[in-house]
Amino acid sequence: MKVSDYIVRFFIEREISDVFGYPGGMVTHLMDSFDKYSSEIAAHVNYHEQGAAFAACGYAQASLRPGVAYATSGPGATNLITGIANAYFDSIPVIFITGQVNTYEGKGELPLRQKGFQEMDVVSLAATITKYCVQITKAEDIRYHLEKAYHIAIDGRPGPVLLDIPMDVQRAEIEPSELQGFTATRSRGNVSVNEVSEEIYAALKRAQRPCILVGAGVRASGMHYSFEEWVARLQIPVVTSMLAVDVLPDYLYNYKFVGAYGVRYANFILAKSDLIIALGSRMDLRQTGANTDNFAVDAKIIRIDIDSSEFSRKIKNGEKDFCIDIKELLPFLADNGYVKIPDFTDWINVCEQIKTMLKNKDELEPNQIMKELSELIDKDTIITTDVGQNQVWVAQSFAPKGQRILFSGGHGAMGYSIPAAIGAHYAEGRKVVAVTGDGGLQMNIQELQFIVRENLPIVIVLLNNASLGMIRHFQEMYFSKNYVQTKKEGGYTVPNFGALAAAYKIPYFSIDDRSNLGNLQSLFESDGPVFIEIFLHGDTYVYPKLAMGKMNQDQEPSLDREIYEYLLKL
């Protein structure tokens, strides 16, 4: 069997149905092998390697199976790098395969920049943003490295791996039965479920105002149903990271996401808590603020994460950190029905009062648009977002009732929404709504041709404010409204998107008045691509927003001080 055939069979046997890539000379054997087995696995051609990488990320996020993206050597490999980084920082299991020049064409130890055409040391380039990264120089090592890479991608905290495979290795003949395999050992953490459970319930008995801070790790583990069961038993408030806004339905003690752009009442609830159980959340700076002394001042913290390295950044003195896989912990907690739970009704009433007083305090027109769109979109739909104001409006105001919402979080890559939507669709065959801005859309606009070519049921919702709104807002705050490169007068312009949709032959609809949003209902039920442009007039803003040095709940625009003090005293 040829090595490239073996690679494809490996993915098929692990039920990976779709992979994404772009043609190149050093992956032609791999491309041919995907075609040979096209009845069992589909290799989709994107129009840019970054698009393929993001599509693989979307596939993995939606399916919880590893995504796969491939590219040729040199510029093909470098174009994958942003997608590799995205997978790394958001803990997405993706297997990246890059072609490489024949082993005899490589520069090896020679002090040259390059010997073979398009030769590049992608392994060194990607080493800091992958869990495993290796060049395979011997055909007989293919099974070992594939099995090792696959295991590492999904084991513990998921993430990307990269296999760089020279062309002569891809075309080499092997005998599969004679290949050496990899012996996997599972990462299990360093504590038992009983130990963590006892600590949590003991802390709950001492607490009066407990709160769960849930992160993307719960969804990534596939344990969101167990989490729902546990929350329903505990009956305590839950706040989320941005990437976990869809982990609970709105009605189930869900008080939205926290942090610099978080929902104001969520930040207040966290600030007033005396116990925070952080579950699968790395508690990054956007959540805690740079000065962690301002974060949940009176709270004890229990942190639960599979990646013990996250505990190297202490949030509070005396925090209790437990390295454990929530795939083991959450089912145990959900099934542990004999434990008596204290009654936190009074605390829930306080949370509801805070929510009622602050619920619509910062709602701007884009937030209202998101709220109304969430009512029009079927619960089985997947939502993708780009990066910028559109992302925050979705996180703040989209009211999930079962929809999956996919973000580019830690890396914050513009151009994510469209290709991620492609991958997400192939993951489960579901309809996708790709929310984007005029800036992000133009980053990977070429992938519209993919959507048209395959007639995918993807609805593109463009929120067009004809500016790079997030940066424009910074310029307004800190640079005396010098809108350089963010607005028309500063050199940033946008095309006629209606004409663009026509060029791609995508049905196009525009909304200039929010009162007409209800007319879009049927468009979200389309079996093919649709392009909806919603015009936002004037300068747009994301509020609330935390200013440097302030308490996390004291976001801008500032609350009336009497209301602020009243809420703190509740």
pLDDT tens digits, the chain, 570 residues: what are they? 999 999 999 999 999 999 999 999 999 999 999 999 999 999 999 999 999 999 999 999 999 999 999 999 999 999 999 999 999 999 999 999 999 999 999 888 899 999 889 999 999 999 999 999 999 999 999 999 999 999 999 999 999 999 999 999 999 999 999 999 999 888 778 899 999 999 999 999 999 999 999 999 999 999 999 999 999 999 999 999 999 999 998 777 999 999 999 999 999 999 999 999 999 999 988 888 888 888 888 999 999 999 999 999 999 889 999 999 999 999 999 887 668 889 999 999 999 999 999 987 778 899 999 999 999 999 999 999 999 999 999 999 999 888 999 999 999 999 999 999 999 999 999 999 999 999 999 999 999 999 999 999 999 999 999 999 999 999 998 999 999 999 999 999 999 999 999 999 999 999 998 888 888 989 999 999 999 999 998 899 999 998 877 888 999 999 999 999 999 999
Strand ordering across the sheet containing 508-511: 404-406, 382-384, 432-437, 458-464, 530-535, 508-511
| 108: Cβ contacts below 8 Å, ≥ 6 apart | none
Q: 506-511 long-range contacts, Cβ below 8 Å, gap at least 24?
A: 506/448, 506/451, 506/452, 506/460, 506/530, 506/531, 507/531, 508/532, 508/533, 509/533, 510/534, 510/535, 511/535
Q: Could you count the other beta carbons within 10 Å of the beta carbon of residue 229?
A: 17
Residues in the chain: 570
- H helices of 384-444, in order, are 389-397, 417-428, 438-441
Q: What's the distance, Cα to Cα, between the start and end of the chain in Å? A: 71
Q: Could you count the other beta carbons within 10 Å of the beta carbon of residue 500?
A: 19
Residue 370: both structure tokens together: 């998101």
Confidence at residue 514, expressed as pLDDT on a 0 to 100 scale: 84
Strand partners, 254: 238
| 523: Cβ contacts below 8 Å, ≥ 6 apart | 459, 509, 530, 532
Q: What is the rounded distance in angstroms from the CA atom of residue 489 to the CA atom of residue 477?
A: 18
DSSP code for 415: T
Three-point CA angle 229, 230, 234, nearest 5°: 120
Confidence at residue 323, expressed as pLDDT on a 0 to 100 scale: 95
Strand partners, 44: 20
Q: Where are the domains of the chain?
A: 3-178, 193-358, 365-535
Classify domain 365-535 at the CATH superfamily level: Thiamin diphosphate (ThDP)-binding fold, Pyr/PP domains (3.40.50.970)
Ramachandran category for residue 459: left, alpha or beta (phi over 0 → left; psi -120 to 50 → alpha): beta
Q: What is the rounded distance in angstroms from the CA atom of residue 64 to the CA atom of residue 418?
A: 19
Spelled out in words, what is the top-level CATH class assigned to the domain 3-178?
alpha beta
Residue 522: both structure tokens together: 């049927």
| 177: Cβ contacts below 8 Å, ≥ 6 apart | none
Confidence at residue 337, expressed as pLDDT on a 0 to 100 scale: 67
Q: What is the rounded distance in angstroms from the CA atom of residue 525 to the CA atom of residue 532?
A: 13
Strand ordering across the sheet containing 320-323: 254-257, 238-240, 210-214, 275-279, 300-305, 320-323
Judge contact between 252 and 225, C-beta under 8 A: no
Cα atoms found within 13 Å of the Cα of residue 221, Cβ hemisphere only: 27
What pTM did the predictor assign?
0.96
What residue type is 526 in one-letter code? S
Residue 418: both structure tokens together: 């469209």
Element (H or E) spanning 87, and its range? Answer: helix 75-89
What values do phi and psi take at 304, rounded to 5?
-125, 120
Confidence at residue 292, expressed as pLDDT on a 0 to 100 scale: 87
Q: Comparing 193-358 with 365-535, is the CATH topology the same?
A: yes
What values do phi and psi take at 443, rounded to 5?
-70, -35
Based on C-alpha coordinates, what's the Rg of the chain? Answer: 24
Three-class DSSP category at 46: coil
Pairing of strands 238-240, 300-305: unpaired
How many whole angstroms from its chain centre is CA 461? 19
Q: Which of 133, 99, 134, 135 is nearest to 118 (CA)?
A: 99
Q: Which of the listed CATH numbers 3.40.50.1220, 3.40.50.1370, 1.20.58.1610, 1.10.1040.10 matches domain 193-358?
A: 3.40.50.1220
Judge contact between 153 and 93, C-beta under 8 A: yes
